[in-house]
Amino acid sequence: MGSMISREPTLERLATAKTLLLDPFGLDEGHLTRALATIKAHQVDDADLYFQYTRTEGWSLEEGIVKTGSFSIDQGVGVRAVAGEKTAFAYSDDISEASLMDAAITVRAIAAAAQNKRSKVPARKVSASRSLYPSLDPMSTLDSSTKVKLLEKVEKLARAKDPRVVQVMAGMATEYDVVLVARADGTLAADVRPLIRLSVSVIAEHNGRREAGSSGGGGRFGLAYFDDALVETYVDEAVHAALTNLDARPAPAGEMTVVLGPGWPGVLLHEAVGHGLEGDFNRKGSSAFSGRIGQRVAAKGVTVLDDGTMADRRGSLNVDDEGHASQKNVLIEDGILRGYIQDAMNARLMGVKPTGNGRRESYAHVPMPRMTNT
């Protein structure tokens, strides 16, 4: 692709996805249409193809030396058919016309053969999407020696902060994820998802007592995001935590009032409330929130959002893993339960719209309704 011509971002991502996931294997959109038509020769409620290319890299430093590095590439295709509540799914790490058609024939067995044999797949429509993060490969945004220097800088900074710092561990992880989704309704969607993280852990020692502290961050950026000021912030936070722990007394036991500040309590919300608001659990009646839409489930003033549209955030997606645009979903508003997060299947079975929360662990897994940024 010539760098001189800039395309609309949605088309740019589709071009990237085709270059990585279709072209090398002699596939084109016609093959995708044929595979979906093969599935739809039987009566199904929904079907999709999900192609994925993932490249990851990790570096970690301990005792002043970058001791380990990891690198992996994985790619494959998942083929799904849904009839009622039943899902048939097949996947292959071999992307080819043969494996695509094999999988299509395998999954369509879930449904009754349609009386009329002429199954049509609607004309392709490229799903509208936005640009919440750059379509770049974060791995190539710094060369190897610069990555090593960055980790070494973290170590030097941490040791210089305080003589009680006796050990520093630093790690960097980058991921480049490209997905292509073709749905039975004719939708074609693609996404290019960068993800980076820098983590810092330190151990401080004083009078024979050793305590740890850690910090870090990242998001959907290139590695230039980790500038000197940010690296300094991470190091400060990690060292401060370790030194604070050196003076910490044991907490008293028993029941007591706890006041939560911003930050980590988000993890509590994620586990205790977020998972409980996922459509699959609520459809099956196994969530504490099942059947309670419109009822008070929290104190006044408590509003819970699941928002996949925040720029550059780890949980953000231009489109979810089913090709639906991510959304800002109000789940609990001023204490009243307003809705659940949905993928396509649970939304259809519950008679509501998908909310852009169809998430897959990888091409080898079926989608589930799961959180974005909650």
* Residues of the chain below pLDDT 70: 1-6, 114-119
- For residues 42 and 183, membership in a common domain is answered with yes
DSSP state letter for 108 = H
- For residues 275 and 209, membership in a common domain is answered with no
CATH of the domain at 136: 3.30.2290.10
In a domain, 254, yes or no: no
- For residues 221 and 269, membership in a common domain is answered with no
How many angstroms separate the CA atoms of 230 and 223, rounded?
12
Q: How many CB atoms lie within 10 A of CB 361?
A: 11
In a domain, 258, yes or no: no
Cβ–Cβ under 8 Å, residues 230 and 150: no
**Helix (H/G/I), strand (E/B), else coil: 128:** coil
Q: Which of 178, 211, 246 finishes a domain?
A: 246
How many angstroms separate the CA atoms of 41 and 111, rounded?
9
- For residues 242 and 270, membership in a common domain is answered with no
In a domain, 297, yes or no: yes
Greatest pairwise CA separation for the chain in angstroms: 82
- For residues 241 and 296, membership in a common domain is answered with no
- For residues 128 and 31, membership in a common domain is answered with yes
In a domain, 179, yes or no: yes
- For residues 214 and 130, membership in a common domain is answered with yes
In a domain, 29, yes or no: yes
In a domain, 192, yes or no: yes
What would the pLDDT profile of 51-86 be if each residue is shown by its tens digit? 999 999 999 999 899 988 999 999 999 999 999 999
DSSP for 334-372, written as a single string: TTEE---B--HHHHHHHTS---S-EE-SSTTS--EE--S
In a domain, 105, yes or no: yes
- For residues 163 and 277, membership in a common domain is answered with no
Burial class (CB in 10 A: 0-12, 13-18, 19+), 51: buried
Res 114: pLDDT? 65
- For residues 321 and 214, membership in a common domain is answered with no
Burial class (CB in 10 A: 0-12, 13-18, 19+), 14: buried
- For residues 242 and 333, membership in a common domain is answered with no
How many angstroms separate the CA atoms of 139 and 142, rounded?
7
**Helix (H/G/I), strand (E/B), else coil: 302:** coil
What is the tally of structural domains in the chain?
A: 2
pTM: 0.92
Q: Which of 198, 201, 179 is nearest to 190 (CA)?
A: 179
Res 119: pLDDT? 63
Res 111: pLDDT? 82
- For residues 230 and 278, membership in a common domain is answered with no
Which domain range does residue 273 map to? Answer: 265-369
- For residues 304 and 202, membership in a common domain is answered with no
In a domain, 91, yes or no: yes
